[in-house]
Every structure is written in C-alpha cells, then in structure tokens.
Chain A
Amino acid sequence: MTDTFQLDGEDVTFAPGQSVLQAALAAGRYIPHLCYHPEFKPHGSCKVCTVKANGRTAASCTLPAQAGLNVESDTEDMNELRRTLVQMLFAEGNHFCPSCEKSGNCTLQALGSDLGVMTAGFRHFFPDRPVDASHPEFLLDFNRCILCELCVRASCEVDHKCVFALSGRGLDKHLIVNAASGKLADTDVALSDKAVDVCPVGVILKKRVGFAVPIGQRRYDQRPISEQALDDAPRPAADSAACAACEGTS
C-alpha cells in the first residue's frame, strides 16, 4: 500500500515506515542532509534536513511520512536555517579546508557550497584537539569532527566492533576511541571496516593516499551535492542487529 504527502507543493509517494527524507530521496527529490546515511538508522542530530511539516519544524530524517502531510523544504527560510547550521559546524571545529586532504570530497564543504554559505557567520572556537596518528593505516584528525556518529553507527551496526563512541555532554561532547589507551592503534579497526569509509568530513583518513586525486577530479568538483545525493538513494537499510560489544548480553 502506498500513500502520498506534499513536498513543496508536489505529491511524494511513500511506503509505510519511511521517513519524509527517505521517501523524498526515493522519489528523486533532494532535501539537504548531513548525518543521515541511507544504510544506517537515522540519527537526527545535525538538523540540516530540517523541514517545515504542517507548519512545525522537524528533522525530516526522523519524521515519519504521513498521508496528507504538507512539507516545505526548498524555501528561503529553511535554506537560511541550513546555512546557519553549516556555519555553526564550521565554527565549532578546526576546518582548514585549504590544507585538508578531504577537501573536494567533504560533505560539510559540499553542503556549504551548494547552500551558498559565503561567510563565517560566527566567531570560530579554534579548539585544541590533538590528532591520533598511532595507527599504521589511519589518521584520526579530531579537529574536523562534527559528531554525526556515522563512524559510531557503522562500527556498531555493520562492523560489530564499536571502535568509536561519543563522550561528554554539550560543548564537551567529543569522539573517543574504544581502547584502554584511547589510541586507535590499540583497537581492531581494519581497512575493510565500514566505519573507516563513512566519515563525511576529514576525521578518519587513510594514510599514504592523501591528495592523490587532483583538484578538478574530486567528488564535488564537478557536480554539486544536491545532484549527487540522489545517485546514492535509495539504498537498502543495513541489518541493524545489536552489537555484542556495546549491548552486552541483553
């Protein structure tokens, strides 16, 4: 059985259980998003996918699609809100795009460009976040972490290792590594792990391959993210079986 809701004045068909964002992407309609990944359980933390649904703002990745819902997404109000959110993410970390090897393949950067973010917007925090270069294959540059939990979700839901987690509250929230030493070298993270491929920004980097792709040929050099996001959707949801490492025996 299918039903429809309205997205910016046009009907979108959805299947039971789909979120507004899932249904929109499946129908070939783009809603800007950042922490959402079609293979993982929606997280609803970055709020970039916020829409106005029947007059109330809600994150479309966690908002269940309902028949007759009136969703406004591509409006100046919503895009201005998204620009502000992207600016806040840039302000919280140390995002020095010119020297970052993720540049050109970075979701945060691509969103800023696509949404038309021209200014800093906020005074940048310039936090002190030492990098973890302990692992022979990977570098962890915490300076760019936006706390999207994609690596956390991938490591638990797909790799069943729970190598990553978030710790602390509010401004003190930060990415940690699940090892007594706190170092990535002391985990069982591996090159074949999903977790090392999902970072939307430049935190989890494979060593010795940085800057291999020249400017002009990187992912977002040719086409904006709004066009590419639809290529990726829809995809089947991952088997979200509980991870023994973090769920215990319950």
Chain B
Amino acid sequence: MSQKIRVATTSLAGCFGCHMSLLDIDERLFTLLEHVEFDRSPLTDIKHCGPCDIGLVEGGICNAENVHVLREFRKNCKILVAVGACAVTGGLPAQRNHLSLADCLQEVYVTEISLEHGGIPNDPELPLPLDKVHPLHEVVKVDYFLPGCPPSADTLWKFLTDLLAGRTPSFAPELIRYD
C-alpha cells in the first residue's frame, strides 16, 4: 500500500485559475510529488474521487452537478479545502446573485442583440443551474479556506507543506489576498 498522501482536486463554478496557480509552484511540484499522489483531478483525468486524504476544491456551487461533485469529495476526503475566492465566497459567478436567474437567462439567450439567439438551453444532459451561486461551506463542511483569485503559488505551497508536516497552516499577511 502506498505511503503517499492522496490528493484529489476539482474545479466547480471556477475558471481553473486556482489549478494554474497550483502548477505555478513550478519545480516544487517535484518535491510535492515525493509526498503526494493525485486521485481525481484534471491532472490525472480520473473521473470519480476515491478515498483521499486531502480534497482541493476550486470554484463555487452554481448548478446541480457542482453539488453532486462536492458531496462526492466531502464523502471521500478526510480534509476538504475551499481553494480560491469562488469556493470561499462564491466569487465572481456570485455577481449574478442580486439578479433573478430567469432574467439572466432571458438576457443572455433571448434579449441581448449582440449574442446568439439560440433560446434558453433545455438539453436534459445540462445540469440545472441553481437559483443562486453558493460558497462551498453552505453545502458541506469545509475544513480549510484559502482566499485569493487565485491563491498564489506561495500560499498554496505554504498550505500544503504546513499540512504535510502536521502543522496547522498559518499565513503571513502577504499570503492572504482576496484578488
């Protein structure tokens, strides 16, 4: 049995910017890979999350599929981490929260003349959008929060190395950003 820490990652209502920031730890990835192996992640293309030690979730919750994936992560990950502004607060997708969802869909797919008029999508394979965009902790228990759009590579590195060393992650002010 592997002694490595198993890590799963996913992007829900996010832009994969937080994943890019994780890759931005550059050559420290080699050090990281001495200690961890990836389960479900865009890096492995594994489609479902198995039992893991750490789950890194980027993005908020904007549709029914996001809820299913998040619950799968919570069920399988001992430690669940909200990574980035969208996971922590809803982020930029939550800019629609003061509007009605119906009005948004109407504007984008029907009214606005500069956009294609294909009508409001109704394919049964499309996950249904939620009325509002939610941060992760409104749906499942979250163990750690890393704000930032995205959290910097140094912030992610500090978090992961603290956690792997068994320390409570702590951050200097320059590692705590909201943009």
Contact = CB atoms under 8 A, between A and B. Distances in A.
B91 interface: yes
Contacts of A128: 98-99
A96 B176 CA distance: 15
A19 interface: no
Interface string B136-157: 0110000011110100000000
B150 to A, nearest CB: 9
14 contacts: A94-B98, A96-B94, A98-B91, A98-B92, A98-B149, A113-B178, A116-B171, A116-B173, A116-B176, A118-B88, A120-B135, A124-B89, A126-B132, A224-B174
Interface of B: 85, 88-92, 94-95, 97-99, 132, 135, 137-138, 144-147, 149, 171, 173-174, 176-179
A64 B85 CA distance: 40
A114 B176 CA distance: 8
A104 B148 CA distance: 12
Contacts of A109: 178-179
Task: State which size class the interface on A falls in.
Answer: 20 to 34
A212 B163 CA distance: 38
A50 interface: no
B88 A124 contact: no
A124 B98 contact: no
Interface of A: 90, 94-100, 103-104, 109, 112-114, 116-120, 123-124, 126-129, 215, 224, 226
B179 A97 contact: yes
A117 B92 CA distance: 19
A95 B174 CA distance: 19
Nearest to A128: B98
B96 to A, nearest CB: 9
